[in-house]
Homo-oligomer: A and B are copies of this chain.
Amino acid sequence: MKNIKTSSFQAIKADIMEKIKSRYWAPGEIIPGEEKLAEEYGCSRMTVNRAVRELAECGVVERKRKSGTRVAHQPDRAAKLQIPIVRKEIVARGSAYRYALLENSVEIAPDGVKAKLALASNSKVLHIRCLHFADETPYQYEDRWINLDRVPSAKDESFEEISPNEWLVEKEPFSDAEHAFSAEIADKEIADILGIREGDALFVVERRTWQQNDTITAVKLTFPGASYKLISRG
C-alpha cells in the first residue's frame, strides 16, 4: 500500500509477492490494475507492468484483459515441476514446430504399463506414439499411455492436430508427478524414428502423473543426444 523508497520493478515485484504470500491478496482475488498500482507505488505504469508481467510469467498471477490480474491458485510451494508444452518450447526457441501422430489405439494394458499406472486387470488404456519436430528435425519422441478409467474423454480426441502432451497439460491437472531421467543407446527402431544412427546417445525422461490417488498418464520421452529443459519454481 505504502510507497516504496526505491521505486523499481524488482522492489514492486517483491512487494506484490509478499502481499500474496501473506494472503493480503488471496488466491483467486483480483489485485489492483496497473494504473492503480503505479499510483500507489509512485512510479510509471511501465514499471508496474514489468513487475506484474514477470510474476505472470512465473505463474504467480494470471492476467486477462479487461478482467484484470488475479492471484493464481495453487499455493505452489517447494519445487514443483512444471510440465512443459513441447510445442511452446520449440516455438520459443524460434524454430518451426511440427507434430506427427504415429499411433493412437485403445489397448488392454500390458503388464508393465498396468504396473506403472497401478491399473486393475483388463483395464483399457490409450496408447499414443508421436513425434515432435523442430525445423523438420525430430526433436522428441513421445510414447504415452493414458488411463482411460480416469480420463475417458481422451478416447474422443483424435490427437491428430494436438499432441497428447499439450492436450493433457491443458485439460488434466495433476497433483503429483514423478520424473526419471536416464541415458540410453539408440537401437535401430528408435534411431529410424528420430533420424539418427544406431548407437547414438539418447536422453530419456519417464514421467508419471497423478491426480490425488489416480494415475493419469505414463509417458516416455526420448530426445536425440543433446538436452532437455525443465523448469521448477519455488
**Which A residues contact B (CB, under 8 angstroms)?**
13-14, 17-18, 21, 58, 60, 74-82, 92-95, 174-185, 199-205, 223, 225-234
Contact = CB atoms under 8 A, between A and B. Distances in A.
Contacts of A202: 183, 201
Contacts of A78: 82, 229
Nearest to A20: B94
A181 B201 contact: no
16 contacts: A21-B94, A21-B95, A77-B227, A79-B229, A175-B233, A176-B232, A176-B233, A177-B233, A179-B231, A180-B227, A180-B228, A181-B227, A183-B203, A183-B223, A183-B225, A185-B200
Contact of A81 (B94, B178, B183, B232): B232
Contacts of A74: 234
A169 to B, nearest CB: 14
Q: How many copies does the complex hold?
A: 2
B181 A184 contact: no
B175 A234 contact: yes
Nearest to A46: B46
Nearest to A179: B230
Contacts of A180: 227-230
A227 B202 CA distance: 13
Contacts of A225: 182-184
Given A21-B94, A75-B93, A234-B74, A201 B185 contact: yes
Contact of A183 (B80, B175, B226): B226
B203 A182 contact: yes
The 10 closest A-B pairs by CB, nearest first: A17-B94, A182-B226, A183-B183, A183-B203, A183-B201, A77-B229, A79-B230, A182-B227, A79-B82, A77-B227
A177 B233 CA distance: 6
Contact of A79 (B18, B226, B232): B232
A176 to B, nearest CB: 5
